[in-house]
Amino acid sequence: MTDYPGFGFEVLVADAASRARLGRLTTPHGPLMTPAFIFCATRGAIKAAGPAELRAANADIILANTYHMMLQPGADIVEKMGGLHRFMGWSGPMLTDSGGFQIFSLGHGSVSEEIKSKGAKGNRAPLLIELAEEGATFRSPRDGQRHTLTPGSSIRIQQKLGADLIVVLDECTPFHVDRDYTATSLAMTNRWAERCIAEFERGHDGRQALYGVIQGGVYEDLRHESAEFVSSKPFFGHAVGGCLGDHEEQMYDIVEYSMGPLDRARPVHLLGIGGIKDIWAGVELGIDTFDCVTPTRIARHGWALARDGRDHRRNMRNARYREDPEPLEPGCGCPVCSTYSRAYIHHLLKAGEILGLQLLTQHNIAFMTGLMATIRGALEKGRLAEAKAEWFKA
Amino acid sequence: MTDYPGFGFEVLVADAASRARLGRLTTPHGPLMTPAFIFCATRGAIKAAGPAELRAANADIILANTYHMMLQPGADIVEKMGGLHRFMGWSGPMLTDSGGFQIFSLGHGSVSEEIKSKGAKGNRAPLLIELAEEGATFRSPRDGQRHTLTPGSSIRIQQKLGADLIVVLDECTPFHVDRDYTATSLAMTNRWAERCIAEFERGHDGRQALYGVIQGGVYEDLRHESAEFVSSKPFFGHAVGGCLGDHEEQMYDIVEYSMGPLDRARPVHLLGIGGIKDIWAGVELGIDTFDCVTPTRIARHGWALARDGRDHRRNMRNARYREDPEPLEPGCGCPVCSTYSRAYIHHLLKAGEILGLQLLTQHNIAFMTGLMATIRGALEKGRLAEAKAEWFKA
């Protein structure tokens, strides 16, 4: 049985009306309170923000993507430089994913604009050449080179990167596949999980903890089967992955299917979901951590997260902000809102200044950490439902 | 006689072997020690760095460009938002130029890649339509609209922007013009200076101090005439402007022509010059402050300033830095050098991460403030010549 002595997960308060819980997740790089949001440092850097900006915005935990890091600069260089924490100057908790999402979800041709970043150099989707029991072979969009990612190599790469929380390689099935394909895929994903555990245990030095992934597409029985499987394995935590349906109600159903049979003593991560409504819903379904590129990505397109904006965001390029002396979000208190006006941010965007993206990024990070703090405060006081109603009334 | 009660300039140490001096320049937004470097926040933002990064890199003073600010967002909006200091969150000393350089030097068709920023949106050169005694009419490259900049309007704009140090409008003659054109131009520049002084005194509330500009092209007698003229006027400080020759020796000659008859009790700024060698030479010629876009501009092209690099810079995209665990500049001690390796910066550039430009920008600012601190330290100890020799031996 794998042991995680430097890690812990403690449920401090369980909500009476839902599966939501307030928790404390401990890692060798410090603890974090949950529910928490994990910010995406895809290529070993939060886009347009360094560790100082993250800390000032109260970010607790970040993630990097194995797929991107294995291609540039490569796991060996990161290991030589002392691991990803030291390489990127981040001393807090960190997660890496397995690379599966990028290879399968993108390689299969399904849509994920968030990760594809169309047009950015080296940011195109990989081409999946072969999927076999051994692993997946794909062509790098950077230089056309062939790479094979196996359960073993994914874990070895993640061990070299050195994040606190690492994730098994899974086949991430696209939305359009049928039940038979999904069932066959899930069986292989489970065999891959066994190989990941074996590889993890070979290199395990107590500095990392392993997450198992729940797949099973949109099918309730397969999601149950997957949740039971991962619960039976010596994982530290679980991640709900895969295609999560084509509208939010279906996503919530799938999360619920996945959560049902899960071992509740372990932390649960929801992969790639970070809409404001989805976070409130996910928390109620029992999710402890979330990640998504949206908060930092929309910042680079000129959007500020805002409680009272449409879809909880404001387009700061809009001429209505030209002479607006208010901060991005009144009452926010983040370093950006305590210093700058909407008029200044608007000016920076109109003038094409990089600083505009930097300031919006920092605000959006602070907005997300503030949202999670609001949720945790409500859980502590036993008033999650009221807090949710207040949030959406605002 | 114009009075500058909130301002002061004190020469603390005069070098025995050159015209160099250690000084203290006092403004309503605080004092700064000279020689000092002024960082360019052309459009009201240092490119890829906010005030927090500037302070962490020990920057004392910044400048913004009147030409850019009058077109976007416009001086009235900046004034409504409480002035440029408050608008951009910078609480230290600030200078604005007059707009003349952009309109004349660029409009005349001479080359200034630094300001033109070819290809950047709204960053093209203005088209000079008419130059008359009244002022200059040009077409904005942003939207094609006609604007007229006069000595009076340049000062009024700068009063609205609210920088501590402001500069008279001058005709900045291009390199290729002959002595007759230059003499006629200088005469008009001097008449404009009188109009600027009159306008300045109308709105003077003690928060700003006015600099006169020395023109006269490459001609020693005209430079002398110009320096005598500005010295006879109630300026707080002087700026050496215009075309400074086509090679560094000629530039040093022109600076020397300009400095000769100047009132030595006033601070002297050298407009748009910031090469490492040029700064050492300028200091010896008696220059107190410098400005240039180069340190932050080359950062955005992947270059780190470095004592021992060729031309005092290193191309961090170079593959030699792929596995280099050293900081950008050993011994630098700036926030970037105390956290990150060359390998990480190289990775960020290869991965196209904005953070790479942010970190190089902050380092290059710290490098320049460190250079100026070295120069001031040497002046204090009476060993400027030795310090210069050591610098270039390194």
**DSSP helix/strand/coil, B9:** strand
- Looking up tokens 């020799």 gives B389
- Chain A CB contacts of B350 under 8 Å are 72-73
pLDDT tens sequence across A284-301: 999 999 999 999 999 999
**DSSP helix/strand/coil, B165:** strand
The domain over range B8-292 is classified in CATH as 3.20.20.105: yes
Q: In chain B, positions 50-79, which contact chain A (CB-CB < 8 Å)? A: 50-52, 68, 72-73, 77
Q: In chain A, positions 100-119, which contact chain B (CB-CB < 8 Å)? A: none
Q: Chain B closest CA to A29's CA: distance in Å?
A: 17
Contact of B44 with chain A, judged by CB distance below 8 Å, is answered with yes
Pick the catalytic residue from B15, B60, B97, B278: B97
Residues of chain A with CATH 3.20.20.105: 8-290
Instruction: Say if the Cβ atoms of B46 and A350 lie within 8 Å.
Output: no
Mutation to test the B interface, candidates A317, A354, A357, A362, most B Cβ within 10 Å: A354
Task: Report residue A1's pLDDT band, with 50, 70 and 90 as the boundaries.
Answer: low
Q: State the ipTM, two decimals.
A: 0.94
Instruction: Say if the Cβ atoms of B354 and A358 lie within 8 Å.
Output: yes
Residues A300-318 have a mean pLDDT of: 94
Between CA A278 and CA B12 the distance in angstroms is 63
Residues A318-330 have a mean pLDDT of: 98
Amino acid (1-letter code) at residue A112: S
Average confidence score pLDDT of chain A = 93
Instruction: Say if the Cβ atoms of B344 and A46 lie within 8 Å.
Output: no
Which residue of chain B is at minimal alpha-carbon distance from A43? B351
Which residue of chain A is at minimal alpha-carbon distance from B352? A121
CA-nearest of A160, A177, A184 to A218 is A177
**CATH value of A8-290 in 1.20.58.1910, 3.50.50.60, 3.20.20.105, 3.40.50.2300:** 3.20.20.105
In the prediction, which pLDDT does B252 show? Answer: 94
Residue A157 pLDDT greater than 70, yes or no:
yes
* Percent over 70 (pLDDT), chain B: 94
Is B97 an active-site residue?
yes
Is A291 an active-site residue?
yes
Instruction: Say if the Cβ atoms of A77 and B341 lie within 8 Å.
Output: no
Residue B363 pLDDT greater than 60, yes or no:
yes
Helical (H) or strand (E) element with B385: helix B384-393
Q: Chain A closest CA to B74's CA: distance in Å?
A: 10
Pick the catalytic residue from A15, A60, A97, A170: A97
Residues B200-210 have a mean pLDDT of: 96
Residues of chain B with CATH 3.20.20.105: 8-292
Instruction: Say if the Cβ atoms of B77 and A46 lie within 8 Å.
Output: no
